[in-house]
């Protein structure tokens, strides 16, 4: 079995694959300063509670955008599983042609998502929208060229910025509003968050299609924690909630 870990700024998401298929997913809050023992005990307990023995894990792949946790999670894998994990970073085999001015700057989660998208074998250009702490919109051509994309604040980050940066605006539940024109402060914020995010993504898709794909329509894939909120918006061709974890599994196969 393969253990895959996506360490984000807000959450750690994990998955276990058996014979190429996802058998278990789990997540917990990301806590900076967590020790290797805490991480190792957590991982083993999650597996145990789901009927998976730690000795059944044969490989581990990790993408992390929290550098302060990289040493701890690597040490946890070695101590509690006896496995040196594959860390997604510049220089590993990805199956992608990185058309980026400095590939070392690309977030590991963006690379993992791009790997997962490219191996869907869709035969077309792809735009991946990963909706987590930040929202990333990335471009992959049908020739598996990764051109980069855009990064904007995630919808939850926008909400916290409003509530923490103003004297009178409250935190609100993040939902799809019934109408665009809010009739209260709460519904006005919800409208701004939802339709503002949707409008930003739609504009980026339009510009990338013209700029990179020369007008050829791409397949637009959504992933990440907030992707289901927009699944019926009409801008996504498909929602692949485990795209990053799939990309990590594929990266392991490419680097054996």
Residues annotated catalytic, as ranges: 109
Backbone angles phi, psi at 242, to 5 degrees: -105, 25
Phi and psi (nearest 5°) for 21?
A: -115, 145
Cβ of 206: how many Cβ atoms within 10 Å? 11
CA dihedral 246, 249, 255, 256 (to 10 degrees): -150
Written as one string, the DSSP assignment of 135-184 is EEEEEE-TT-EEEEEEEEE-HHHHHHHHHHHSSSPPP------S-SS-SS
Q: Give the burial class of 150: count Cβ atoms within 10 A of its Cβ; 0-12 exposed, 13-18 middle, 19 or more buried.
A: middle
The burial of 233, by beta-carbon neighbours within 10 Å (0-12 exposed, 13-18 middle, 19 or more buried), is given as middle
Counts for the chain of helices (H) and strands (E), in that order? 6, 11
φ/ψ (deg, to 5) at 249: -60, -45
* CA distance linking residue 137 with residue 55, whole number of Å: 37
Residue pair 199/137 in contact (Cβ under 8 Å)? The answer is no
């Amino acid at each position: 079995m393969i253990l895959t870990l996506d360490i984000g700024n807000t959450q750690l998401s994990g998955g276990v694959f058996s014979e190429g298929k996802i058998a278990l997913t789990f997540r917990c809050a990301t806590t900076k300063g967590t020790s290797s023992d805490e991480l190792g005990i957590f991982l083993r307990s999650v597996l145990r509670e789901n009927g998976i023995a730690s000795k059944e894990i044969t490989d581990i792949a990790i993408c992390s955008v929290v550098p302060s946790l990289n040493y701890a999670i690597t040490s946890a894998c070695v101590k509690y599983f006896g496995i040196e994990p594959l860390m997604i970073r510049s220089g590993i085999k990805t199956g992608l042609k990185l058309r980026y001015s400095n590939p070392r700057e690309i977030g590991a989660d963006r690379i993992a998502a791009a790997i997962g998208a490219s191996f869907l074998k869709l035969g077309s250009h792809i735009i991946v929208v990963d909706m987590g702490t930040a929202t990333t919109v990335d471009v992959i051509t049908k020739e598996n060229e990764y051109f980069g994309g855009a990064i904007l604040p995630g919808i939850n980050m926008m909400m916290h910025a409003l509530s923490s940066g103003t004297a009178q605006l409250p935190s609100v539940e993040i939902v799809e509003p019934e109408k665009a024109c809010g009739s209260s402060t709460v519904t006005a914020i919800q409208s701004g968050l939802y339709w503002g995010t949707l409008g930003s993504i739609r504009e980026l898709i339009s510009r990338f299609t013209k700029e990179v794909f020369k007008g050829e329509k791409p397949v637009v894939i959504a992933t990440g924690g907030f992707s289901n909120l927009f699944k019926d918006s009409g801008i996504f061709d498909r929602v692949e909630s485990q795209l990053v974890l799939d990309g990590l599994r594929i990266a392991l196969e490419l680097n054996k």
